[in-house]
Amino acid sequence: MTGLAFVAIAILAAAAVTLGVFLWYACSVPSSQVFGPALVRGATDRPRVTLTFDDGPASPFTEQILDILRDRRVPATFFVCGQNVERHPEVVRRIAAEGHTLGNHTYSHPFPYFLPRRRLAEEIDRTQQAIERVTGKRPAVFRPPYGARWIGLYPVVRERGLKVVQWSDTGYDWKSDARATVRAALEHLGPGSVILLHDGQEGTQGFLKWAWREVFHLGDRAASDSLRPDRSHVVEALPRIIDQARGAGFEFVSLQEFIST
C-alpha cells in the first residue's frame, strides 16, 4: 500500500468514526437538540421540579404511585404506551381524573432506530387514539422510547402538534433497587429538573435484549414479560424522593408549568 492510499483510508476511517459518534449523540443523548427541539429542563429561575413516569400503566404499580401522588398532592406526567392503555383503561381514566398529564410513548415501545416514518406515525397515532377514547383528550406531549430520536421523528410529531419531552434526571430505576433509585434521582436535582421514573416495563429491556427479540422474533415472549413488570421498588422509592426533594426546598409542579414558561 502506498503512503497516499494509507492516508486516504485513515482519513475515511476517521470521518466514518466521527459521523458515527455524531449520529449516536444526535439520536441517543437525551439532551441532544440536533434533529429538533426537546424539553430537557424547565425554567431554572425557581426551585421547581417535575416527575414523569414512562411505559405504563401497569397494575397495581401505577395505582400505588397514584395513591402516593394524591396523598402528597404532587402532579406528575405519565408517558403511556397505547397497548397498556388498552389493557388498563380504568387506570388511564384515573390518571386524567386526578389531574395528571398524559403523554404519548408510542403504542408498542419499539426501538426507534431504522424505524420507517410510516410505522412511527402509526405507533403515535394508535396511542393518541387509545388515550382519546378513554379520556376524551389527545396528549400534547411525546417521549420517544429509550429517549432515542431518529431522523423521521420530528416531521411526524410536528404534523401532530406534539412537543418532545426528554428528561434531565433519572433514578435509573430500570437497573437499581429502591435505595439506589432515590439516590440517583436526587443526586443532581436542580431548578427545572425533569425526573424520569418508570411505572411500566417496556423501556427496561436494554438494547441487546431488544436486538435479540427483533432478530430472533421472540416478540410474544417479550410481550408477555411486559405484562408482568415489577415496579415495586419505584413505589418504595417515590415517597422518599418527594419528601427529600421537598426537604431540600424543591416544589413539585406540573410539566405544563415548564412548557408554558
Provide the minimum distance between the beta carbon of 202 and Zn ion in the complex, in angstroms, as a whole number.
6
Cβ contact 194:169 at 8 Å: yes
Mind spelling out the 3-state secondary structure of 28-87? HCCCCCCCCCCECECCCCCCEEEEEEECCCCCCHHHHHHHHHHHCCCCEEEEECHHHHHH
Residue placing its CB nearer to Zn ion in the complex, 32 or 250: 32
Give the count of alpha carbons within 13 A of 127, CB side only: 34
Q: Which lies closer to Zn ion via its Cβ, residue 55 or residue 173?
A: 55
Residue 57 binds Zn ion (CB under 5 A): no
DSSP 146: G
Which residue lies nearest Zn ion, judged by its C-beta?
203
Residue with cell 402509526: 122
> Considering only 1-9, 54-62, 69-77, 96-104, which stretch makes contact with Zn ion by CB under 5 A?
54-62
Interacting span for Zn ion (CB under 5 A) from 47-55, 116-124, 173-181, 239-247: 47-55
Among residues 143, 239, 144, 231, the alpha carbon closest in space to that of 186 is found at 239
Residue 190 or 206 with smaller CB distance to Zn ion = 206
Instruction: With beta carbons less than 8 A apart as the criterion, state whether 98 and 71 touch.
Output: no
* 173: contact with Zn ion by CB under 5 A: no
With CB under 5 A as the contact rule, the residue among 40, 55, 106, 205 that binds Zn ion is 55
Residue 147 binding Zn ion, by CB under 5 A: no
Size of the site for Zn ion (CB under 5 A): 4
- Does position 203 bind Zn ion by CB under 5 A? yes
Q: Is 54 in the site for Zn ion (CB under 5 A)?
A: yes
Q: How far is the CB of 54 from Zn ion (least distance, A)?
A: 4
In this complex, which beta carbon is closest to Zn ion, that of residue 55 or of residue 63? Answer: 55
CB of 260 to Zn ion, least distance (A): 25
Reduce the DSSP state of residue 198 to 3 states and report it: strand
Span interacting with Zn ion, options 42-50, 112-120, 143-151, 229-237, rule CB under 5 A: 143-151
Shortest distance, position 246 Cβ to Zn ion, whole Å: 27
CB of 66 to Zn ion, least distance (A): 19
Smallest Cα–Cα separation from 145: which of 29, 26, 54, 22? 54
Of the residues 55, 198, 199, 233, only one is catalytic, namely 198
> Could you confirm whether 198 is annotated as catalytic?
yes
C-alpha cell at 207: 438494547
d(CA 191, CA 178) in angstroms, rounded, equals 23
Give backbone dihedrals phi and psi of 139, rounded to 5 degrees, phi first: -60, 155
Residues recognised as catalytic? 54, 198
Which residues sit at the interface with Zn ion, rule CB under 5 A?
54-55, 145, 203
